[in-house]
Amino acid sequence: MNIREITIVGILAACSVLPGPAYACAPQEATVKETELSQLVRTRMTLDPVGAQALMARMQPVMQSYQGKLSSGGAVDWDKVCSQYDNLIKLAK
């Protein structure tokens, strides 16, 4: 091994033990997740109207919570919003 290869191996080894970046969801990602969930709910509406309505009932508080905060100038925990949408997307699938 030459010095370059040793350096690369060292960097890769260091990266493998360092913690990764914390999950950070941006408002745009939340919007994408909301759109995906809405599409899944619409699709499910034809197959399982009762289940789709239950999902909509769980989706509305999430949407209202961050939209209300945006309207009032409050801070939004986008990680929480994305996490909630991720859970609902799993349920919808």
- The predicted pLDDT at position 86 comes to 92
N residues, the chain: 93
Taking the CA atoms of the chain, what radius of gyration do you get in angstroms?
20
Q: pLDDT per residue over 34-51, tens digit each?
A: 889 888 888 888 888 898
Domain map of the chain by residue range? Answer: 23-92
Q: Which of 4-8, 14-18, 46-50, 69-73 has the weakest average pLDDT?
A: 14-18
Rounded-to-10 torsion of CA 30, 32, 38, 44: -120
